[in-house]
Amino acid sequence: MGIYCVRVEEIGSLSIELPDSFARGEVQMGGMGHNWRRVFQPRDKNDADDVSIVSFYRGSPAALEDAAVLRSLIKQPPAVIFAGTRSDCCSQPHVAELVRKLEPILGQCGNNQIANQETGVAGPRFFLEKLETISLDGRAVLSASGYFHDMELHPQAYFSGLFFDAQPESPHCCVEELVFEAQTRSLYDKYYPSFKQAVSTVRWTA
């Protein structure tokens, strides 16, 4: 049976084609309506609770220092920032410092093994496998992948996300996210190609 794409117009600052295997799910709006979260989940009911594509707008501008880090980074040519282990990063102090500076921009996955080297309860909850900037419809965005884990480092959810400036011409930097998450590696491998294909159809509307 063939898979066809449906056009989901203007999700925040972009439009994107999602495969028909994903259906529109929950929409949440902030108390004042400035921040929002839109969820898309597999139509297969066996997978719907464990896989999602989420578009999220934080609503309020990033702190000036954090905004400056992101905007400076995405003005440069696309490049891999980090790919490997914490020891790989520690051998490159400038890379570790940049990852730490990006912690607020990266949201929950900013609490990773590079930015947070504590252990136990205070330790990180995300293992960062790769961080890079990529070009998307002519605009640079920040891309992160890895997995959330418990205190024993057992994976709990596999993650791939894009973080970008929703209003690049504005004096204020408001971060928007487009993320894919799956609770198991097998589900990640099953649905990630659909997410990757969808990302290739992104067109900026703002």
Model confidence pLDDT, tens digit, residues 136-151? 999 999 999 999 999 8
Buried b (16+ CB within 10 A) or exposed e, 174-203: bbbbbbbbbbeeebbeebbebbeebbeebe
| pTM recorded for the entire structure | 0.90
Q: Please write the tens of the pLDDT for every residue from 35-68.
A: 889 999 999 999 999 999 999 998 888 999 999 9
Q: Which CATH architecture has domain 5-204?
A: 3-Layer(aba) Sandwich (3.40)
Residue-range domain boundaries for the chain: 5-204
**pLDDT value at residue 1:** 41
Q: Please write the tens of the pLDDT for every residue from 154-176.
A: 999 999 999 999 988 899 999 99
> Which of 145, 165, 196 shows the shortest CA–CA distance to 73?
165
Confidence of residue 90 (pLDDT cuts 50, 70, 90): low
Query: What is the C-alpha to C-alpha distance for residues 19 and 200, in angstroms, rounded to an integer?
Result: 12
Confidence of residue 4 (pLDDT cuts 50, 70, 90): low
